[in-house]
Amino acid sequence: MKNISTILSVLSLVLVGVLFFLFFNHQEDVKKRRAENDALRKANAGVTIAYFEMDSLENNLSFVKDAMEKFKTKESQMNTQLNGMKSNFQKKIAEWNQRGQSMSQAENENAQREYAQMNEKFAGEKQKLEMELQDMQFKMAQEMNKKIEDYLKSYNKDKDYSYIMTSQPGLIYYKDTVHNITRDLISGLNAEYQASQKK
Q: How confident is the model at residue 96 (pLDDT cuts 50, 70, 90)?
A: confident
How buried is 4 (Cβ within 10 angstroms: 0-12 exposed, 13-18 middle, 19+ buried)?
exposed
Selection from 93-107, 127-141, 166-180 with the highest mean pLDDT: 127-141
Quote the CA–CA distance of 85 and 143 in Å, as a whole number.
33
Q: What is the mean pLDDT of the chain?
A: 83
Taken in order 163, 168, 174, 175, is the CA torsion positive or negative? positive
Q: What is the pLDDT of residue 21?
A: 66
pTM for this one? 0.65
Q: What is the sign of the dihedral through the CA atoms of 145, 171, 168 and 135? A: positive
Q: Give which of 82, 158, 151, 164 is closest to 119, Cα–Cα.
A: 82
Query: Which range has the worst mean pLDDT, 25-34, 36-45, 49-58, 181-190?
Result: 36-45
Highest mean pLDDT (candidates 64-78, 83-97, 108-122): 64-78
C-alpha separations of 32 from 18, 27, 42 in Å: 21, 9, 15
pLDDT beyond 90 at 45: no
CB hemisphere CA count around 129 (13 angstroms): 19
